[in-house]
């Protein structure tokens, strides 16, 4: 009986520990610069040999002080993400960042980051932002942000940013709690999946005619992330 209780307690502690580590695991050494050429496949990226690590593994001339082109995007925004694929030194450190440029009336459309919480700071202009909680409540939290304001989007929740100005651009910097936060843009995923989701399924889910679904699936769903 005692051994059974000990086993159950051990399982419970493992479950609690696993739940507490909801984002990237903590590093067990000073750094683990990503070796992108390694044939080894792990959850993340393997480490480069320490003797081969150079200072430029921790550096990127990203030009984040320069405006990005928003004219080519249908949603009139441009997300410049700096993650582990661009900066190898981020590997295992559990952080990444992005510059987001918004044209007048531009938006970063509703999306989620499956592996990261996001904290966003407005550098120029104003942004209307918001997120929606999970089922069953689906409560909507929104706020108009001005230059210097900060807002947090909890991990995994659908959120967006919109520039309400008709004549002024906006700029924001976001920090994310993962070296590879991922992004799922809702409209792209639902109506632009490859192969497409059956229109019967989407028509029922959105309570619309299948012709509406077919029209939406025929649109060009682009990614505003670079």
The pair of structure tokens assigned to 113 is 């980051």
- Of 62, 61, 63, 58, the closest CA to residue 93 belongs to 58
- The DSSP symbol for 195 reads S
* Neighbouring C-beta atoms of residue 101, cutoff 10 Å: 25
Q: Residues 6 or more apart from 164 whose CB is under 8 A from it?
A: 105, 126, 127, 128, 144
Q: Cβ(90)–Cβ(32) under 8 Å?
A: no
* Neighbouring C-beta atoms of residue 15, cutoff 10 Å: 10
* 108 in a known ligand binding site: yes
The DSSP element (H or E) to which 121 belongs, if any, is: strand 118-124
* 222 in a known ligand binding site: no
Give the DSSP letter string of 171-190.
EEEEEESSSS---EEHHHHH
* 124 in a known ligand binding site: no
- Of 153, 125, 149, 127, the closest CA to residue 140 belongs to 153
- Binding-site residue numbers are 108, 111, 113, 118, 159
- Binding-site residue numbers for Mn(2+) are 111, 113, 118, 159
- Binding-site residue numbers for oxalate are 108, 113, 118
């Amino acid at each position: 009986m005692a051994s059974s209780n000990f086993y159950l307690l051990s399982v419970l502690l493992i479950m609690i520990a696993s739940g507490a580590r909801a984002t990237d695991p903590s590093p067990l050494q000073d750094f683990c610069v990503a070796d992108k050429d390694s044939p080894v496949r792990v959850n993340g990226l393997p480490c480069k040999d320490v003797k081969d690590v150079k200072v430029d593994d921790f550096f990127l001339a990203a030009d984040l002080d320069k405006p990005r082109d928003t004219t080519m995007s249908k949603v009139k925004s441009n997300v410049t993400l700096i993650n582990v694929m661009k900066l190898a030194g981020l590997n295992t450190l559990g952080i990444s960042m992005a510059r987001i440029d918004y044209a007048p009336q531009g938006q970063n459309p509703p999306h989620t980051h499956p592996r990261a919480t996001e904290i966003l700071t407005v550098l120029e202009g104003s942004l209307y932002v918001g997120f929606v909680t999970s089922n069953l409540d689906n409560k909507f939290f929104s706020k108009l942000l001005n230059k210097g304001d900060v807002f947090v989007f909890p991990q995994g929740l659908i959120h967006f940013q919109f520039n309400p100005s008709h004549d002024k651009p906006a700029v924001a910097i976001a920090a994310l709690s993962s070296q590879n936060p991922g992004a799922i843009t809702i409209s792209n995923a639902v109506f632009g999946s490859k192969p497409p989701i059956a229109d019967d399924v989407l028509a029922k889910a959105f309570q619309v005619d299948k012709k509406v679904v077919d029209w939406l699936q025929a649109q060009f769903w682009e990614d505003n992330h670079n």
